[in-house]
A and B are shown apart, each in its own frame.
Chain A
């Protein structure tokens, strides 16, 4: 039998927040004080030790106790960001097997971390099909200055250690939009700059869908020069100059104003075929390299030779409800029962940052209402398979539902 529940809190006192969220999750799950998995997210405003203590005041024993930072949290009835939001998911099951894996020191070490994590998972024998949730600390402040952890390198390493990567979803963790140093919980420890994976096997299956609502809004162009995460040239023109020309020299907008809205899309399907949202992965720009007139991207996955398009973000969120509902129907057709849903949602999609008056995550809440417990968080980067290949994605909502 499997029981699962999620709980939310907005209390500023970290201990009380942990206790409240855990208590609500326990109530929803209908479990007592012990469970198989405790999975937690808070914003970086919280004190992690106190929060964990609050959760433990409700859940005495958990085989797996882990979690990390999010810019905000989403549950069935609540969502919020930039404040003191926190969320807890609990699962107790004797049919779904859960395993957790940790690899430390991802800072400036993304490939090796992914490789060793992949190897750890690959060397483990699972009961039945494996389904993975993978998370990593997206913030590297070990040098004092901000460096984003490169998900592309991490994913490459993951494939290196586990060439047949199963159904996988996840994200890069950040606790606020200023990318302060973030933290992860691993059993009794509080750590930073780590990557962890949660494996579901036994009776479990994971069903995923990616939602970005972006449409191509330009012709195809070619990256002609790139250096790690910096796109230096597009169509042999300095990248920044290219973008400013396209936006219009008379717009009066500086990069500071428009940079957040610059999304570059890669079509993993056939060029010039009818648009298929599932074929696209999006990359966001976070800064400019003024000296080299380049665009600093979140990830280092844009390389010379790649064909790209500028993408437009849709403010019509119907597609989110439909995609979520379709996923539930897919589970139903397979005669399976949804146990718990995880929504890894790019913080850029939150209404405040998007410039919308509605929250797109509310569509997920609506579609899942009274059907399955939901725990989501606002992330810096999302991980999901596009086609058959795990990709770091931007401006994407990844919904993963565990069924049995």
Chain B
């Protein structure tokens, strides 16, 4: 049977209503889905904020960095308009230390606020929630007007059981569905944020203390290390000391071109009878101290003293093309010192004999107890013989050393001929003087 116009009309109305009902259902479901999604997203963003906070509880992050990044996260991720972190200035009196979301110029006005925050924020788990449905007291209204946040959540920040600050965040408006009134669900999130901020502030304080202690201890260690290093350097050349520290031993090394200086106090025995033991030691110390300063000046390595003899060598541990000239200059300066000393002290000080020879040596450390840096080789023996064959108040050179310095214009040489040296045979020897000597012989 064909549909009549009336049937068609009915059918049309039926489908029209069906379409409308479906449309209405769609809107309804869209609204519900959105509400659920928004709630889920709110928790998700809340977790993101807490995750960010947890990561920033890195002891190296400053309190300022943590507070500012937290406020940024609250304002953007949780879609709040304004945040303030108050810090306690005096007992129960708080001042804004960090702000975000305020207009230009408002920051400066806020900084002048001093607030007595309410008793609701005394304890760690306390909170303060103001939304449109909240009862408004005069105190509430005054605080909201002062900080210009009408709807807010506030939670305390603690370090070491002591309340040190307050976090306040809020909105300017409540607009459903996306900016609904702040609720107790938001409070729970903010209490957790407050707890993280407390931990961060505590850690930051603890880290600062730890850092200070470490710095103090490090400083003490550095001073002690320097003392022991200086002591070691007093005994060994720097390179050898370094090798000893690193390896635990120092290898003996061969040096091809060095100059060895020996000095000896000629009248030591006579002087030792004139002076008391202490006076003798003091005089020796005075003279050797001066010799030490002279050799350092000429980059010469002191090896040792043997009784009243003094041994030094130039050209090690680092090669020095001027080893011979340096040694000669040092020797002449040692002689000059000794001469001056005799002028001061008369018979109660030493006269000196100095000898220099150049050649090769082996240098190193032997022994493990009370070890010392020393040199070995024929050059050393020969240098000793040159010194022994010198005369009081003179600097005696071997032929080898003479050959190395003969062309230098600041020295005058006197050939002494070939002189018999014990176990060495006849050796050519030369006296050396400064070219423009002001010292009267």
Contact = CB atoms under 8 A, between A and B. Distances in A.
B237 interface: no
A123 B309 CA distance: 110
Q: Is the interface of B mostly helix, strand, loop or mixed?
A: helix
B275 interface: no
Interface string A42-60: 0001010110000000000
B343 interface: no
Interface string B25-54: 111101111111110010000000000000
B396 interface: no
6 contacts: A47-B104, A82-B76, A177-B179, A247-B24, A247-B28, A262-B27
Contacts of A47: 104
A246 interface: yes
B30 A313 contact: yes
A251 to B, nearest CB: 5
A403 B172 CA distance: 43
A45 B31 contact: no
Contacts of A84: 72, 76
B23 A217 contact: yes
Nearest to A80: B76
Contact of B23 (A12, A312, A356): A312
B110 to A, nearest CB: 16
A271 interface: no
Nearest to B41: A352
B267 interface: no
A357 interface: yes
B279 interface: no
Q: Which 5 A-B pairs have the closest CB atoms?
A: A355-B34, A218-B23, A83-B76, A246-B24, A217-B23
Contacts of B26: 217, 310, 312
B27 A310 contact: yes
B19 A217 contact: yes
B20 interface: yes
A248 interface: yes
B28 A253 contact: yes
Interface residues of A, number: 36
A248 B81 CA distance: 35
Contacts of A83: 75-77
Contacts of A45: 75, 101
Contacts of A247: 24-25, 27-28
Nearest to A12: B72
Interface in A285-317: 309-310, 312-313
Contact of A261 (B22, B30, B81, B101): B30
B178 interface: yes
B67 to A, nearest CB: 13
Contacts of B177: 256-257, 260
Contacts of B19: 217-219
Contacts of B41: 352
Contacts of B24: 218, 243, 245-248, 310
A310 B27 CA distance: 9
A368 interface: no
B61 to A, nearest CB: 17
B178 A261 contact: no
Nearest to B101: A45
Centre residue among B31, B34, B75 by max chain A CB count within 10 A: B31
B31 A246 contact: no
Contacts of A354: 34
**Looking at B15, B16, B28, B38, which has the most chain A CB atoms within 10 Å of its CB?**
B28
Contact of A178 (B28, B100, B172): B172
B348 interface: no
Contacts, number: 100
A319 interface: no
A246 to B, nearest CB: 4
A84 B37 CA distance: 23
A353 interface: yes
Interface residues of B, number: 39
Given A217-B22, A260-B177, A353-B34, 9 more contacts: A83-B75, A177-B179, A247-B25, A248-B25, A257-B176, A258-B28, A260-B31, A261-B34, A355-B37
A353 B178 contact: yes
A261 B27 contact: yes
A114 B101 CA distance: 34
Contacts of A257: 31, 35, 176-177
Given A82-B76, A83-B75, A218 B179 contact: no
A115 B34 CA distance: 40
Contacts of B104: 47, 49-50
Contacts of B81: 178
Interface string A16-53: 00000000000000000000000000000101011000
A244 B317 CA distance: 100
B21 interface: yes
Nearest to A250: B28
Given A177-B178, A356-B37, A248 B22 contact: no
Interface in B111-169: none
Interface in B174-188: 175-179
A256 to B, nearest CB: 4
Contacts of A243: 24
Contacts of B173: 178
B79 interface: yes
A246 B20 contact: yes
A261 B79 contact: no
A94 B38 CA distance: 48
Contacts of B36: 355
A176 B77 CA distance: 14
A82 B38 contact: no
Nearest to B34: A355
Contacts of A218: 19-20, 22-24
Nearest to B16: A219
Contact of B178 (A309, A352, A356): A352
A218 B27 CA distance: 11
Interface string B322-354: 000000000000000000000000000000000
